[in-house]
Structure 1
Amino acid sequence: MNPQTQKIRQSAPPRPVAVSSTFAVQLSSTRRGARLARLLATQWLDERGVPYRSAASHTAALLVAELAANAVRHCGSIGRDFRLRLTLREAEGATGSVLRVEVTDARADKPMPQGPPVAAGPEEESGRGLVLVDALADRWGDRVNDPITKTLWAELDWPG
């Protein structure tokens, strides 16, 4: 298994860490809700010392945007909201921080595709989101919470 495929589809965080700060909000499954998720995430990170224009903030914003857009795509047509949850915590051994982005939607009946994400063709309008998530995140995956909801999550490791 190549290293790129190996990081895909982990079902739990790889190591125990101490939670230092969490933010959660429920948003409408609309384009406006997805945009608001990204804006709220960058504001929250800025308040915790991750400046708006930093590379870390841009990477986090892209992850939030892609996961939120996925929820909007699958839940917008049925009028169900999605939940954004951000957790910023110290990494084990205080070697840096870990940002965990979770987006929960009400479509457990829409499972994630198995295997590594495959980019859509040049003529297709969608189908690139998980390829971006895979490229940006240190770890990512999904979990079915109950018969109705599932959560897509991604983690970023930030050094000291």
Structure 2
Amino acid sequence: MKKLTVVLALLLVLTTTSVFALGIGAQAGYVGGGAGGALTFKLDTAPWVFAVNVDSLVNPLSIGGTADMWLANKNFAGPFNYYYGWGVAAGLLVYDSGLGLYAGARALAGINVFVLDKFLEFYLQAAWQPGISLLFADASNVGLNFVNFPVNLGFRFWF
């Protein structure tokens, strides 16, 4: 059932991209104690912005995703806009000694600018991302993390 839901969601996204504008790009920055990178995409007509990230390729390997809903994206000076919103985050951590899961909420704000006749968007975004971590290893534990402030610099091409 879960696989069917994922397949249907992907088909919905892929089939609607020909009707709506699609922004797709990459971002990099500081995420939860280290550097990371992500692929990001946004439909022009939807307030949600998605990112699929890999935060480390060494111990621990961290793979995750975010979904952010922009509540506003307004102009504040010349070509510069500001935006803010809320979202959710989830991740999988693979340690040498075990496995970890992360789930959290996000409050975010950023600035963006469009260039080349709105074909290219650059942005800087910061978020507060409190959450809960579960570690499954020799000694399993649960941890609350209220001090998590990812900051990302990125770009998106709009088609």
RCO higher in 1 or 2 (8 Å CA, sep ≥ 6)?
A: 1
Q: Which has the higher strand share?
A: 2
Structure 1 and Structure 2 fold alike (TM over 0.5): no
Q: Which has the higher helix share?
A: 1
User: Structure 2 length as normaliser, TM-score?
Assistant: 0.28
User: Structure 1 length as normaliser, TM-score?
Assistant: 0.27
Higher Rg of the two aligned structures: 2
